[in-house]
Amino acid sequence: MVTTDQINKYLKDATVATEDQQFYQNHGINFRGVFRAAINNIFHTSGGVQGGSTITQQYVKNALLYSQRTFTRKVKEVILAIELEFMYSKDQILTMYLNEIPYGGQTAGVEAAARMYYGIPAKDLTLAQAATLAAIPKAPTYYSPYGIHTDKLVIRRNYVLDQMVKINYIKKEQADEAKKQDTTTVGVSVQPRKMAILAPHFSMYVLEQASEEYGDQRVEKEGLTIYTTLDFQKQKIAEQAVADGMAKV
């Protein structure tokens, strides 16, 4: 857990620009989303409760409620979000949210994510790194820097930067410069963090398959046990053989 002043301003701005651009103006509720949920419940339309949740609602959903998408849960989410808005400032709510949300695998919260992917505290992130982290929570397994969709992560990172420009958090020149930076592989090859996940690319591939089958929320939150075909000792031998071969090139 980190305090507000220990979180980089770029990361706060990137998160607001991407997740809830009216965060500082709204009262914690997206009434349009609640109305859609009510209509779905009345007419029994498919697709469950539909999104557009505010940052406050997302925090309540992740930290305080179960993940099942029902109208009853949506009502509880609204009530708790309103109570939260009365009890805490916007900066406090944003900080609680950033300390809670998943960033892929076992990584939850911005401090853990910053250290996992970049080896630095959250307060030291660059603009490009902050935008990359802000891109991940939409689909933590799919967009993980350890996964096989890093090209999609770059596209979403650039979207985050464009949204920051749109609401005047940064200048276009800053966004253009940040887009030139490779932020998808920084830290992955550094040994201390590499050991946090055995065979990271294989592991993230398995998690992606599980997320497609069961959904991100269940995979990230419910402590599933997944058995795979990986023989880690053979994997290490194969990786070392590749490394030795590359060294001779």
123-144 confidence digits (pLDDT tens): 999 999 999 999 999 988 889 8
What's the confidence (pLDDT) of residue 191?
38
pLDDT higher than threshold 60 for residue 190: no
Q: What is the CATH number of the domain that holds 55?
A: 1.10.3810.10
What's the confidence (pLDDT) of residue 49?
45
What's the confidence (pLDDT) of residue 66?
64
Same domain? For 92 and 175 the reply is no
Out of 101, 121, 152, a domain closes at 101
Out of 101, 130, 151, a domain closes at 101
Same domain? For 84 and 195 the reply is no
Instruction: Provide the domain limits for residue 77.
Output: 1-101
Same domain? For 16 and 129 the reply is no
What's the confidence (pLDDT) of residue 112?
93
Contacts with 94 (C-beta within 8 Å, 6 or more apart), sequence order? 4, 12, 15, 16, 23, 55
What's the confidence (pLDDT) of residue 210?
74
198 or 58: which leads in pLDDT: 58
Query: What average pLDDT does the segment 145-166 reach?
Result: 93
pLDDT higher than threshold 70 for residue 194: no
The tally of domains found in the chain comes to 2
Q: What does the mean pLDDT of the chain come to?
A: 82
Same domain? For 10 and 124 the reply is no
Same domain? For 65 and 146 the reply is no
